[in-house]
Structure 1
Amino acid sequence: MFQHARRLVLSLGVAAMAAFGALAPAAQAQVPYQRLAQTSSKYAAIVVDAKTGEVLYENRADALRYPASITKVMTLYLTFEALASGKIDLDDRVVFSPRAAAQAPTKLGVRAGDSISVDEAMKALATKSANDAAVALAEKLGGTEQRFAALMTLRAQELGMTNTHFANASGLPDSRQTSTARDIAILSRAVMRDYPQYYKLFSTTYFNFRGQQLRNHNGLLHRMYGVDGLKTGYTNASGFNLAVSAVRDGRRLIAVVLGGPTVASRDASAESLLLTGFDVMNRRARGEDIRVAQNFFEAPITMASAQTSREQGDNDDGDMKIVLASTAPPIRASKIEIVEGKKAAQGKWTVQVGSFNSRSDAKEQLAIVEKKFGQHFRSAKGLTEKAGGKYRSRFSGFTEKSAKAACQALKAKKQPCMVLAPSA
């Protein structure tokens, strides 16, 4: 039985599937590239169900990596936020300062003092990954790129990207600019969830700008059925990165691959991960109760060792253990209000478990957290609060000790959490 199951695994081990059936020829064709990708010391990957957030596969998903130009997804997220709030319009002008115009390629090559529209700037980021346009947008929205980067980091923390720090808006090399495959997947989900009206920007295949036809760098967008975003990235330090999403049969998956040694190996790795993920989802839809649980035993990445990992690479490829197991269907959060009928809370500390564009999403997050972590939130009061155009999911009534314990439990399961002290 074990040997039969192993035949269903891609030979490099990018994903595992349970019970009968054959792999698609397209997935098998990518195996040589896949092996090359996984032997890279910078490699990290994750596959996520975009609707539920369930992780279908992960490999070094929390190891610190350089995001490179995937950074621009957050730059665009804050731009979408400004558009949705009415702070800016698509036709507003984005002036290029001398600093913006001087950015390294890839770039539009707009001269200092010249300007383009917000719409053109967004398309330049999504297709050509223009660094000069990213800095010009950052300066328009934040005053300075440094201030805008601080806003990017703050929003990342609110979204649950707890291991991410931004130092610039473009992704150009900076040792302070780090993220993880898991955090990039969280950001990808947030863009789709919060700004569906702008997400289609990432599916732009070509952008005509002043007589030039700029081609989107995302190769899978041009050749893989169902792919409609998101973003590529590359620096010498990061290797070849890709955050990609695809839809098939009404189901959407997100794959993040970081640190590929070549464009071809990165794209092949992401394609195989998506193909296998869709196969798993289809089998579930037919009633198979399966889950993919594949673990690579690695030394944990700590803050003390992060710099060494960034400079020298993580040389521990680890031993692979494949676990095929049955599992209950993903949790579906209840829409019920959970703030009524609770035991009176005693403390004055608060725990924030998410930040969303809609009140309904914020309430749903409260229900999910209470269901999965009830022992820590049983005596707390769940509520949603609107601030800065966002709806915060919060539980109040903690003591300092119980708030920190609850937050620690959530973070142990890679859930967003923030402890808030009582107001003065």
Structure 2
Amino acid sequence: MRSETNPIEFEPKSLRVFHLKPYRPQLNKDHRRFAALVQIVVLAFALVAGGLSTAMADSNDAAIVVDAKTGKTLYSSAPDAHRYPASLTKMMTLYLTFEALSRGRISMDTPVPISRLAASQEPSKLYVPVGSSVTVKQAILSLVTRSANDVAVALSELLGGTEDNFARIMTTKAHALGMSRTTFRNANGLPNRHQMTTARDMARLGIALREHFPQYFHFFSTQAFHYKGHTIGNHNHLLGEVKGVDGIKTGFTSASGFNLVTSVDRDNRKVVAVVMGGTSWRSRDNTMKKLLATYVPKASTRGSSDLIARTAPAPTLAAIELPNHGPRPQFRESTTARVALAYAEPMPEDDFPMPEPRPVIGRQALIRTLQQQEDAIAVPAADPGAQTLPQPDAARETAKIDAMTTGSTIASQSGWVIQIGAMPDHAAAARLLRKAEDAKGAQLASAQPFTVVYGNGDTRMYRARFGGFDGKDDAWSACDRLKKAGFACWASEQ
């Protein structure tokens, strides 16, 4: 009977040897050694190629090193490829926070309320209960160290009213800074497939933070934040480990991989470097260390460090900055970026960047409108204990708009003034002025401190200002000195 398991048994004997014992060429000793050597070389090449491939995908998924003095790109790999920013998003949240601080719209002690939406965010977070608050300073430190998602949303609601509106402001600001391939959809960087950026754009934002807010940039070098008995360390492990590293931000989601933006100030050289898409924080950090070791010595010791143009202030805290009474111009385009931003309404998500301005309202018409609104608000000309500028009868004809907010009018005065803050009561504004005089007394000896009241009821604010400067250069110089002393400051001609 035939076997069903071994059909070879029924084949001719002449074929059995062929099937059971295939022909193999006989190799001599030298041939065997050569074949073994070839196998070893092929295997080694495969391992090295695989390792290089992994390293390239890890360290160079997207990377750039930029000389922060000249703007020259010292190294790049896929610098304009779209990537998810993850918590690098918080760099823009902090940029807008610093801008609001520098313009006196908020102070370091301003409360940041925690809403239900903010408290519901996924970790990493500070776990602040709903209805509680942190100060702006605590919020900044929590974003820099723990990368707190809950506090980032709370800041966005404070500055933009809602997180969605704040995200639109973030995108507008990004495009104004030249970050043309960046779109934001939230304030903390939690996953959103429409929230995209590039390594080059993140480097540009890092440089802008250095250049535009030197008085606040030191926050990025904070290695530990103490909050309610807890010590929170910084996720940026290069701080204190690599000479000259002074920030900026880490980020991670499963979709983005491990991201890092690093700023270095060493040996009179400044660079900002970005690594995106690392497979682990260790490999990301190691890649960054190698890039810094290679390219910091190649950076220039000369340059202006004035690479990113300053832009008009974002329309944050619009409820405070805009008058509550009288006709309100509809935002389309405007005669100036300041007026456009002051009256900005939320724009459709795909309308970025902002269109080129075309006049729809004249400046004098705007002045007259705001003067009518001032009359309707009936702000007291003089608050008890407040110093205000004298207002002659003819002042109404020569009044000028406050250049920074377009939300109030002030009496005419020749020359330049500087503002260092806006406080909810006169005593606080007066204390701020005295503090500035104590810190920079000799340099402000010829300046006249005064306050300007605007708003009504709960929205009343007191602007803390100095006047009597000898032109633009004198006012700007005073502002620069005050910023170095830790004060917010801006200058305007009156």
Which residue matches 1:217? 235
Amino acid at match of 1:356: R
- Shift in Å, 1:280: 1.8
CA contact (8 A) 1:44 1:60 kept: yes
Asked whether the 8 Å contact 2:59–2:278 carries over to 1, the reply is no
Aligned partner of 1:161 among 163, 179, 183: 179
Instruction: Kindly state the Cα deviation for residue 420 of structure 1 after the two structures are TM-superposed.
Output: 2.5
Correspondence for 1:288: none
Choose which of 267, 291, 298 in structure 2 pairs with 1:273: 291
CA spacing shift, 1:423–1:354, aligned 2, 3 Å: farther
Alpha carbons of structure 1 residues 262 and 184: separation in structure 2 relative to 1, 3 Å: same
Secondary structure at 1:228 match in 2: strand
Q: Where does residue 356 of structure 2 map in the other structure?
A: 420
Q: Deviations over 1:235-293 (max 9, x none)?
A: 00000000001111111111100000111110111111111112323xx66xxxxxxxx
Aligned to 1:63: 81
Q: Structure 1 residue aligned with 2:133, among 115, 121, 127?
A: 115
Aligned counterpart for 1:75 among listed residues 93, 99, 118: 93
Q: Percent identity?
A: 47
Structure 2 residue corresponding to 1:388, chosen from 333, 338, 345: 338
CA distance in 2, matches of 1:264, 1:35: 17
Distance 1:34 1:136 in 2: 43
Secondary structure, aligned partner of 2:251 = strand
1:39 CA displacement: 2.2
Instruction: Give the 5 Å matches for 1:302-381.
Output: 355-356=309-310
Pairs within 5 Å for 1:5-404: 36-40=54-58, 43-281=61-299, 355-356=309-310, 387-388=337-338
Task: Kindly state the Cα deviation for residue 421 of structure 1 after the two structures are TM-superposed.
Answer: 6.2
For the 8 Å contact 2:211–2:308, the answer to whether it is kept is no
CA distance in 2, matches of 1:197, 1:227: 17
The alpha-carbon deviation at position 418 of structure 1 amounts to 8.2
Summarize deviations over 1:36-73 as a string: whole Å, max 9, x none. Answer: 44224981000001112111111000000000000000
User: Number of matched residues?
Assistant: 278
8 Å contact 1:166–1:176 — kept in the other structure?
Answer: yes
Contact 2:69 2:270 in 1 (8 A): yes
Shift of 1:386: 7.1
Gaps of at least 5 residues in structure 1 are 1-31, 286-329, 336-352, 359-384, 392-416
Could you tell me whether the CA contact under 8 Å between 1:37 and 1:260 is conserved in 2? no
Structure with greater strand percent: 1
CA distance in 2, matches of 1:176, 1:263: 24
User: Secondary structure of 1:242's partner?
Assistant: strand
> 5+ residue gaps in structure 2?
1-49, 313-334, 342-352, 361-494
The answer to whether the 8 Å contact 2:123/2:149 transfers is: yes
1:332 to 1:149, Cα distance in 2 relative to 1, 3 A: closer
Structure 1 residues 34 and 386: CA distance shift in structure 2, 3 A: farther
Q: Quick check: which has more Rg, 1 or 2?
A: 2
Contact 2:59 2:284 in 1 (8 A): no
More relative contact order in 1 or in 2 (CA 8 Å, sep 6+)? Answer: 1
Deviation at 1:390, TM superposition (A): 12
Conserved 8 A contact 1:127-1:205: yes
> Would the alpha carbon gap of residues 205 and 46 (structure 1) be closer, same or farther in structure 2, given more than 3 Å must change?
same
**Structure 1 counterpart of 2:98, which letter?**
F
Please give the TM-score of this superposition, normalised by the length of structure 1: 0.61
* One-letter identity of the residue aligned with 2:338: G
TM-aligned CA distance change 1:194 to 1:276, over 3 Å:
same
Structure-2 change in CA distance of 1:331 and 1:273 (3 Å): same
Q: Using the alignment, how far apart are the partners of 2:59 and 2:138 within structure 1?
A: 37
Residue 147 (structure 1) shift: 0.4
Normalising by structure 2, report the TM-score: 0.53
| Alpha-carbon separation, structure 2, partners of 1:332 and 1:194 | 13
Distance in 1 of aligned mates of 2:287 and 2:359: 48
CA distance in 2, matches of 1:47, 1:66: 19
Distance 1:141-1:234 versus aligned 2 partners, 3 A rule: same
Listed as ranges, the matches of 1:406-417 within 5 Å are: none
1:390 and 1:83 map into 2 onto residues whose CA distance is: 20
